[in-house]
């Protein structure tokens, strides 16, 4: 049986944070890098809402979200809302549901005698506990946590409302009785981290803890670029704060972006064939040669910025 933390309130708070992260992707704070930003195609540099054409059906729309419950970001601007309200279906990365949250709670914690301190050693463990305390999570919550779960929990600022934009859209789609779909399951998103080798999990957590003080600045830079609808700016910030371990960074990008984008493209095709779909994914999934916008054009769809 999985051992859950004794402090139920702390566990619930962490689950809210993790639900938001797994529904979209994750930020991994690291030592700022001065490497040049990855090149992006000029036509993809600006805009969060994109029209997708290429079938006989009505156009569909792909929208880039940001994964935060910041009050500045949890409602759609009017041009985006217009197309959302008139869409026939809504699709997001993964629909949040009760069974998914239970599976996540079980996956987050060691189900044997292993503790986080056993895996990390006393020095890194104490630094992790200290960082988690700034998120309102006591040591009891960390004791049986796997390194990847601690890392994910520290990769976002403390939650406020718990209603990030993607979840707000899921709830609004339900209110409007829209057909709703997920491009992934929550179980698939959990596996992205839970199947990482333990040494890689520890390395990610070590770097996250070491650079935890950078997180507020990174988040604010991302929010500022997002509110300007600046995809190129978001890509530059992702490069600026990427983790310093080149091998591990490549592994994560393959898992979190490249392979998932290819899978997302295939799974959104039925919605594009039906037409008039509103599809919301994290904005970083849109950009670059491996991004969804380029993949869609390479697959024969016409892509154009709306707003």
Residue 122 lies in a domain: yes
The rounded Cα 159 to chain-centroid distance in angstroms is: 14
Q: Looking at the domain assignment, is residue 139 inside a domain?
A: yes
Indicate whether 1 belongs to any domain: no
On whether the CB atoms of residues 73 and 66 are closer than 8 A, the answer is yes
What CA–CA distance (Å, rounded) separates 229 from 307? 8
> Is residue 246 one of the residues assigned to a domain?
yes
Q: Where are the alpha helices (DSSP H) in 212-291?
A: 215-227, 231-240, 246-253, 259-274
Q: What is the token pair recorded at 141? A: 């919550």
- What residues make up the domain containing 229? 8-305
- Each residue's pLDDT tens digit, 168-186: 999 999 999 999 999 999 8
Question: How many other β-carbons are positioned within 10 Å of the β-carbon of residue 224?
Answer: 13
Residues 188-225: tens digit of each pLDDT: 988 999 999 999 999 999 999 999 999 899 989 999 99
Q: What is the dihedral of CA 206, 237, 91, 167, to 10 degrees?
A: 60
User: How many residues belong to the chain?
Assistant: 307
* Angle of helix 198-210 versus helix 122-133 axis, rounded to 10: 60
Tally of structural domains, the chain: 1
3 located within any domain: no
CB 76 within 8 Å of CB 226: no
Q: Collapse the DSSP code of 64 into the 3-class scheme (helix H, G, I; strand E, B; otherwise coil) and give the result.
A: strand
Please, which residues have CB within 8 angstroms of residue 131's CB and are 6 or more apart in sequence? 154, 209, 212
132 found inside a domain: yes
Distance of CA 11 to CAs 5, 145, 158, 186, 276, Å? 6, 10, 13, 18, 39
What residues of the chain score a pLDDT lower than 50? 1-6, 8-17, 19-26, 29-30, 34-42
Burial 96-112 (b: 16+ CB within 10 A, else e): beeebbeebbebbbbee
Q: Cα–Cα distance between 5 and 182 in angstroms, integer?
A: 30
Residue tagged 């054009």 (tokens): 297
Q: Which residue has the tokens 């991004």?
A: 291
What is the reported pLDDT for 226?
Answer: 96
| Residue 2 is assigned to a structural domain of this protein | no
Rounded CA gap, 235 and 286, in Å? 10
pLDDT of residue 31: 52
């Amino acid at each position: 049986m999985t051992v859950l933390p004794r402090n139920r309130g702390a566990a619930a708070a962490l689950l809210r944070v993790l639900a938001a992260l797994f529904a979209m992707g994750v930020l991994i704070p690291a030592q700022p890098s001065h490497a040049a930003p990855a090149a992006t195609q000029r036509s993809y540099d600006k805009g969060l809402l994109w029209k997708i054409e290429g079938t006989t059906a009505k156009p569909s729309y792909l929208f880039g979200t940001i994964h935060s419950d910041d009050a500045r970001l949890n409602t759609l601007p009017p041009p985006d809302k217009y197309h959302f309200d008139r869409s026939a279906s809504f699709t997001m990365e993964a629909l949040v549901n009760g069974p998914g949250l239970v599976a996540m709670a079980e996956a987050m914690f060691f189900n044997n005698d292993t503790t986080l301190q056993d895996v990390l050693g006393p020095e890194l463990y104490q630094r992790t506990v200290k960082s988690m305390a700034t998120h309102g999570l006591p040591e009891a919550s960390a004791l049986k946590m796997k390194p990847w779960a601690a890392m994910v929990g520290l990769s976002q600022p403390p939650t406020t409302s718990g209603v990030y934009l993607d979840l707000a859209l899921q709830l609004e789609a339900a209110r409007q009785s829209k057909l709703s779909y997920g491009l992934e399951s929550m179980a698939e998103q959990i596996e992205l981290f839970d199947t990482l080798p333990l040494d890689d999990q520890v390395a990610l957590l070590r770097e996250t803890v070491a650079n935890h003080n950078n997180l507020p600045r990174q988040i604010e830079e991302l929010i500022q670029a997002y509110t300007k609808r600046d995809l190129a700016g978001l890509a530059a910030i992702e490069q600026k704060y990427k983790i310093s371990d080149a091998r591990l960074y490549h592994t994560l990008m393959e898992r979190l972006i490249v392979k998932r984008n290819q899978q997302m493209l295939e799974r959104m095709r039925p919605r594009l064939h039906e037409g008039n779909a509103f599809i919301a994914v994290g904005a970083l999934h849109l950009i670059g040669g491996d991004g969804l916008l380029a993949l869609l054009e390479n697959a024969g769809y016409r892509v154009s910025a709306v707003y």
